[in-house]
A and B are shown apart, each in its own frame.
Chain A
Amino acid sequence: MSGITKKFGDFTANQNINLTVHRGEVHALLGENGAGKTTLMNVLYGLYKPTEGTIKVNGKPLQVSDPNVAIANGIGMVHQHFMLVDPFTVTENIILGNEPTKTFGVLDLQRAEEEVRQLSQTYGLHVEATAKIQDLSVGSQQRVEILKTLYRGAQILILDEPTAVLTPQEIQELANIIRNLTKAGKSIIIITHKLNEIKQVADYCTIIRRGAHIDTVQVNEVSEDDLAAKMVGREVSFKVAKKQRERGDKVLEIRGLEVEDSRGITAVNGLDLDLYQGEILGIAGIDGNGQKELIEALTGLTKVRSGVVKVRDKEVTNRTPGEMINKHRVAHIPEDRQKRGLIFEFDIAENMVLEKYNVPPFSRWFTLLWDKIYQNADLLVKKFDIRPQDSRVLARALSGGNQQKMIIAREVSNDPELLIAAQPTRGLDVGAIEYVHQSLVEQRDAGKGVLLISFELDEIINVSDRIAVIYEGEIVGILDAEGVDEKSVGLMMAGGSA
Chain B
Amino acid sequence: MKFTKSDLKELFIRGPLGLTIFSTILGFSIGAIVLAIAGFNPAEAYWAIIRGIFSKPKYMSYVIIYATPLIITGLSVAFALRTGLFNIGAEGQFIVGAMTAAMAGYYFQLPMIIHVPLCILLAMSAAAVWGGLAGYIKARFGVHEVISTIMLNWIAFYLSNWSLTIKSFGKQGTGKSYMIQETARIDLFGQWKITEAGIDFIRSHKILGDVLKSPVNIGILVALLLAFLVWYILNKTTLGYELRAVGFNPDAAEYGGINVKKSMVTSMAIAGGLAGAAGALQVMGVGHKIAKLAIMEGYGFDGIAVALIGNNTGPGSVFAGLLFGGLKYGGSKIQDAVGAPTEVINIVVGTIILFIAMPKFIQLVLRFKKG
- The answer to whether B257 and A355 touch across the interface, beta carbons within 8 angstroms, is yes
A324: chain B residues within 8 A (beta carbon): 257
Stretch at the interface among A44-52, A156-164, A202-210, A341-349: A341-349
Within residues 51 to 78 of chain B, which ones have a CB less than 8 A from any CB in chain A? none
Within residues 218 to 256 of chain B, which ones have a CB less than 8 A from any CB in chain A? 236-242, 244-245, 248-249, 251-256
- The answer to whether A354 and B245 touch across the interface, beta carbons within 8 angstroms, is yes
Contact residue among A299, A326, A343, A370 (Cβ-Cβ distance under 8 Å from B252): A343
Counting chain A CB atoms within 10 Å of each CB, the highest count among B239, B241, B258 belongs to B241
Contact residue among A325, A367, A368 (Cβ-Cβ distance under 8 Å from B257): A325
B251: chain A residues within 8 A (beta carbon): 339-340
A323: chain B residues within 8 A (beta carbon): 257
Q: How far, in angstroms, from A368 to B232 measured CA to CA in the complex?
A: 10
Which DSSP category, helix, strand, loop or mixed, fits chain B's interface? helix
Counting chain A CB atoms within 10 Å of each CB, the highest count among B1, B239, B257 belongs to B257
Say whether, besides A340-B252, A354-B245, A370-B1, A322 and B236 are in contact (CB < 8 Å).
no
- The answer to whether A354 and B248 touch across the interface, beta carbons within 8 angstroms, is no
Please give me the residue from chain A that is nearest to B232 by CB atom: A367
- The answer to whether B253 and A343 touch across the interface, beta carbons within 8 angstroms, is yes
Please give me the residue from chain B that is nearest to A340 by CB atom: B255
B168 interface residue (CB < 8 Å to A):
no
Q: How far, in angstroms, from A273 to B355 measured CA to CA in the complex?
A: 61
B259 interface residue (CB < 8 Å to A):
yes
- The answer to whether B248 and A344 touch across the interface, beta carbons within 8 angstroms, is yes
- The answer to whether A346 and B248 touch across the interface, beta carbons within 8 angstroms, is yes
B254: chain A residues within 8 A (beta carbon): 301, 321, 340
Counting chain B CB atoms within 10 Å of each CB, the highest count among A325, A342, A354, A392 belongs to A354
A8 interface residue (CB < 8 Å to B):
no
A137 interface residue (CB < 8 Å to B):
no
Quote the shortest CB–CB distance from A249 to chain B (angstroms): 25
Chain A contacts to B: CB under 8 angstroms: 299, 301, 320-326, 332, 334, 339-346, 350, 354-355, 357-358, 363, 366-368, 370, 392
16 contacts between A and B (CB under 8 A): A301-B255, A320-B257, A321-B254, A322-B258, A323-B257, A334-B255, A339-B251, A339-B252, A340-B254, A343-B252, A344-B249, A354-B253, A357-B238, A366-B239, A367-B237, A392-B2
17 additional contacts (CB under 8 A) given A357-B238, A392-B2: A321-B257, A322-B257, A325-B257, A326-B257, A343-B248, A343-B249, A343-B252, A344-B249, A346-B248, A354-B245, A355-B256, A358-B241, A358-B242, A367-B238, A368-B237, A368-B238, A370-B236
Across the A-B interface, give the 10 residue pairs with the lowest CB-CB distance, nearest first: A322-B257, A354-B256, A358-B238, A340-B255, A345-B248, A321-B257, A343-B249, A357-B241, A343-B248, A355-B256
